[in-house]
Amino acid sequence: MADTTVYRASTTAPVNIAVIKYWGKRDPSLNLPTNSSLSVTLSQRSLRTLTTASCSAQYPSQDELTLNGKPQEIQSSKRTLACLSNLRSLRKSLEDADSSLPQLSALPLRIVSENNFPTAAGLASSAAGFAALVRAVADLYQLPDSPRDLSRIARQGSGSACRSLMGGYVAWRAGSLADGSDSLAEEVAPQSHWPEMRAIVLVVSAEKKDVPSTEGMQTTVATSSLFATRASSTVPERMTSIETAIKNRDFPEFAEITMRDSNGFHATCLDSWPPIFYMNDVSRAAVRLVHDINRAVGRTVAAYTFDAGPNAVIYYLEKDSDLVAGTVKAILGSTAGGWDGPFYEPLKDTTAPGVPLDNVDPRVIGTLKDGVSRVILTGVGEGPVSVNEHLVNETGEIIYH
Amino acid sequence: MADTTVYRASTTAPVNIAVIKYWGKRDPSLNLPTNSSLSVTLSQRSLRTLTTASCSAQYPSQDELTLNGKPQEIQSSKRTLACLSNLRSLRKSLEDADSSLPQLSALPLRIVSENNFPTAAGLASSAAGFAALVRAVADLYQLPDSPRDLSRIARQGSGSACRSLMGGYVAWRAGSLADGSDSLAEEVAPQSHWPEMRAIVLVVSAEKKDVPSTEGMQTTVATSSLFATRASSTVPERMTSIETAIKNRDFPEFAEITMRDSNGFHATCLDSWPPIFYMNDVSRAAVRLVHDINRAVGRTVAAYTFDAGPNAVIYYLEKDSDLVAGTVKAILGSTAGGWDGPFYEPLKDTTAPGVPLDNVDPRVIGTLKDGVSRVILTGVGEGPVSVNEHLVNETGEIIYH
């Protein structure tokens, strides 16, 4: 009679939000980027993916993946297959070298994953998802590979996923080798180096975005006359400068580079043919708000950044919570949800705006009140964490929530 | 007793809308641009400035300028003073060479100007205004200088004004000399070469723009990391291509270059620090509409372009009036004013949209209906025209309307 043991490992993984943007692939199938990028890993106390990887001889022969309660067509996702195939090979090598190990690489996988936030809302769910998948299967297989090594695999699932395998401040080195073996993530500084970094996400719209990022970035690379300058010259200079800013905990420098890189990325989208727009009037109102706050305070206390969608992410330091998040709360506290949660404490008793609202253009206030449905308060956080909460029970059944 | 003759000359001058944008000065005081540009002169049947230049010994000793009924502080406008001083010098040379000429250069000027459209609404009123001023004073002084020569003077008033001294399709050559003597306008093709060009302006907002163009372009030149590529490489290539397209009357090519250059210009604005936004959600809806129309028709029949403001200008050929303006009319005919006028004839009996509206994203239709207050129907037109309608009467008094 066959062994019916269900082997399991579970992990949570974080979202990351880039401050130097990834946009453009030099090799679409290997997910090799045209330029390096850098992100802040966000706390899993706010946003996280929980993934259980399991394998068992009692499972059907084909690997299975369930996301947020829905079975996925795993065979049609080349990216998922590439990740699993890489991880299985690593396990196989261990088994070949040590015959006492159970032959897990030969067993079908059942992977179950849940986000605690809406998918495809511009919140980098695919980054957290692939990081969790790779980390969970690597744990299931007890692979000795470092997060840096695993980032090479996660990258093939979703480029930015490679940066979610580490906490703190993470660079994705573009690399130059054709096989992508030097295109991987590196920790620039751990969370503990600069733990005061905070972020407030202004959720502008949960509509699916018009142009998916993979398609959008190929359009930009192929058609924007300005893109080559960004990839070959602007971004490399910014990578150097922002790493120095992070090392020196220099928020004003970090902030200016972050804002300029976001603007430059969206500029190359607009310069694409046909043009790609991710920011809308609400996004632009968030840009104005941040500039107005910084002007009123007289120093740079806030930095906006926008991914491939209209949501604003505003970075600030904890000591400036009143000035930044307190001002946002004064504008949106009565209309947008999401103010509760783990990072709400410093704002709980804040009633007056940190920056008097007569410093902010009234049209900006009106546009934000009308257009922001929800905020998410968060901050810099740790990388993936092994957990004992499993989404598959001991007999191999999926636990639905 | 002194001679009290009032010498007068009046002209109308057109607006022009660039298809290759002027953005960036290499010399702000001489208005020398970083790159060449190209525009279509728009018909004065729709939009025009009427200017009377007069001079008389009976006038107060200081030159006077009245715009739309309001006296201007001429001494505080270096640009106006530069134009008048240049024109006076040219007149003085004629007088020095021929003593039979009246000494007009010694007489005070009274200049009166009226636009038939709102100033500072993003409709290039300063271009028409300075072109009319220079043409009217040159006519008053009976200068033999060609429009090309006069464009050098008008350029110092407002850069794009140099292109309004000619009709049809007009290039402003950036030039390379430090004194600006080779930075002037040239007719690429007269109106008669391609008279079928039409334009519909979607007037999005008559609010004053946030960042005036002179300030905006200095910010872009100083801070955008992508701007140098635009000025040194992208625009020169586009100038060559669009001149060929105009010579060949190749609308699809003309249209694609026009749209890409508008997008590229706004991309460098967004890449500036702090970022500059001229397009808003209504502008973006106009972009989508044009792409949707072209997709539905299966060929490029419409081209959008945006100056330093949210108004859309959509170029098309007369034969495609139904497809382009007819579709816009189906969307905006009941909510936006301005449909009457000299270019309305082909649309008068149009009831159905040229392109069925189910080809257009319903959000685009809603945004345009909410955000466009007025349309202006126009087309390619002639350069300045001498007229006998004067804004100063024979005794030197201003005629107010």
- Residues B262-276 pLDDT 10s: 999 999 999 999 999
What is the percent of chain B where pLDDT is above 70? 97
CATH code of B197-379, in short, is 3.30.70.890
Nearest to B271 among A225, A263, A274 (CB): A263
For residue A274, is pLDDT > 60?
A: yes
Helix (H) or strand (E) holding B257: helix B251-270
- In this prediction, residue B136 has a pLDDT band, given cuts at 50, 70 and 90, of very high
pLDDT at A400: 87
Angle formed at CA B99 by CA B97 and CA B100, multiple of 5 degrees: 125
Residue carrying structure tokens 């202004």: A202
What spatial distance separates the first Cα and last Cα of chain A, rounded to whole Å?
A: 33
Nearest to B264 among A225, A263, A284 (CB): A225
Beta-carbon separation of B229 and A234 below 8 A: no
* Nearest-CA distance A223 → chain B (Å): 10
Of B230, B161, B200, nearest to B343 (Cα)? B200
For residue B210, is pLDDT > 80?
A: no
Cβ pair B83, B65 in contact under 8 A: no
Helix (H) or strand (E) holding B329: helix B325-332
Domain A7-190 has CATH 3.30.230.10: yes
User: What is the pairing mode between strands A37-41 and A32-33?
Assistant: unpaired
For residue A265, is pLDDT > 60?
A: yes
Nearest to A284 among B267, B268, B277 (CB): B277
For A329-363, write each residue's pLDDT tens digit.
Answer: 999 999 999 998 889 988 988 888 899 999 999 99
Cβ pair A169, A189 in contact under 8 A: yes
pLDDT at A316: 98
User: Tokens standing for B226?
Assistant: 């992508």
Nearest to B267 among A259, A268, A291 (CB): A268
Of B39, B44, B47, B43, nearest to B254 (Cα)? B39
Q: Which CATH architecture fits B7-189? A: 2-Layer Sandwich (3.30)
Residues of B with CB under 8 A from a CB of A: 224-226, 228-230, 233-234, 256, 259-260, 263-264, 266-268, 270-275, 277, 280-281, 284, 287, 291
Cβ pair A343, A329 in contact under 8 A: no
**Cβ–Cβ pairs < 8 A, chains A and B:** 77
Residues of A with CB under 8 A from a CB of B: 224-226, 228-230, 233-234, 256, 259-260, 263-264, 266-268, 270-275, 277, 280-281, 284, 287, 291
For A157-175, write each residue's pLDDT tens digit.
Answer: 999 999 999 999 999 999 9
Beta-carbon separation of B267 and A270 below 8 A: yes
Cβ pair A343, A43 in contact under 8 A: yes
Return the residue of A nearest to B294 by Cα.
A274
Beta-carbon separation of B270 and A268 below 8 A: no
Of A298, A272, A149, A166, nearest to A216 (Cα)? A272
pLDDT at B299: 97
Return the residue of A nearest to B230 by Cα.
A226
* Nearest-CA distance B309 → chain A (Å): 14
Helix, strand, coil percentages in chain B from 3-state DSSP, rounded to 5: 40, 20, 40
ipTM of model: 0.92
CA gap A263, A387 in Å, rounded: 38
Q: Rounded to the nearest 5°, which phi and psi values hold at B205?
A: -165, 135
Cβ pair A43, A95 in contact under 8 A: no
Q: What is the DSSP letter of B42?
A: B
- In this prediction, residue B150 has a pLDDT band, given cuts at 50, 70 and 90, of very high
Q: Is residue A75 classed exposed, middle or buried when 0-12, 13-18 and 19+ CB atoms within 10 A define those classes?
A: exposed
Chain B residues within 8 A of A233 when measuring between CB atoms:
225
* Nearest-CA distance A119 → chain B (Å): 23
CA gap A16, B76 in Å, rounded: 53
Beta-carbon separation of B230 and A230 below 8 A: no
**Number of CB atoms found within 10 A of residue A175's CB:** 18
* Nearest-CA distance A324 → chain B (Å): 19
pLDDT at B151: 97
User: Tokens standing for B170?
Assistant: 């007009």
Beta-carbon separation of B260 and A266 below 8 A: no
CA gap B263, A268 in Å, rounded: 10
pLDDT at A119: 59
Q: What is the DSSP letter of B204?
A: -
CA gap B79, A256 in Å, rounded: 35
pLDDT at B400: 87
Q: Is residue A391 classed exposed, middle or buried when 0-12, 13-18 and 19+ CB atoms within 10 A define those classes?
A: buried
* Mean pLDDT of all residues in A125-144: 96
For residue A209, is pLDDT > 70?
A: no
* Nearest-CA distance A310 → chain B (Å): 12
User: What is the pairing mode between strands A197-203 and A312-317?
Assistant: antiparallel
CA gap B195, B45 in Å, rounded: 14
Which alpha helices (H) appear in A158-250, and where do they start and end? 213-223, 227-229, 235-247
- Sign of the C-alpha dihedral, residues A107, A109, A110, A112? positive
Chain A residues within 8 A of B225 when measuring between CB atoms:
229-230, 233-234, 260, 264
Q: Examine residue B274 and say whether the peptide bond preceding it is cis (omega within 30 degrees of 0).
A: yes
Of A164, A67, A153, nearest to A110 (Cα)? A67
User: What is the pairing mode between strands B64-67 and B109-115?
Assistant: parallel
Chain B residues within 8 A of A23 when measuring between CB atoms:
none
Cβ pair A59, A8 in contact under 8 A: no
pLDDT at B120: 47
pLDDT at B341: 85
Interface test with B, best of A281, A292, A364, A367 (most B CBs within 10 A): A281
Nearest to B280 among A224, A270, A281 (CB): A281
Please provide the average confidence, as pLDDT, over all residues in chain A.
94
- In this prediction, residue B2 has a pLDDT band, given cuts at 50, 70 and 90, of low
| B312-317 β-sheet, strand order | B303-305, B312-317, B197-203, B374-379
For A74-130, write each residue's pLDDT tens digit.
Answer: 999 999 999 999 999 999 999 999 999 999 999 999 999 999 876 545 676 789 999
Residues near B58 by Cβ (< 8 Å), separated by ≥ 6? B2, B4, B6, B396
Alpha carbon of residue A277 to chain centroid: 20
* Mean pLDDT of all residues in A47-62: 97
Alpha-carbon dihedral of residues A33, A34, A40, A42, nearest 10 degrees?
-40
pLDDT at A21: 98
Domain ranges of chain A: 7-190, 197-379
For B238-256, write each residue's pLDDT tens digit.
Answer: 999 999 999 999 999 999 9
Same fold, B7-189 and B197-379: no
Beta-carbon separation of B267 and A263 below 8 A: no
CA gap B64, B397 in Å, rounded: 12
pLDDT at B209: 60
What is the percent of chain A where pLDDT is above 70? 97
pLDDT at A401: 78
Cβ pair A187, A265 in contact under 8 A: no
Beta-carbon separation of B263 and A280 below 8 A: no
Cβ pair A22, A160 in contact under 8 A: yes
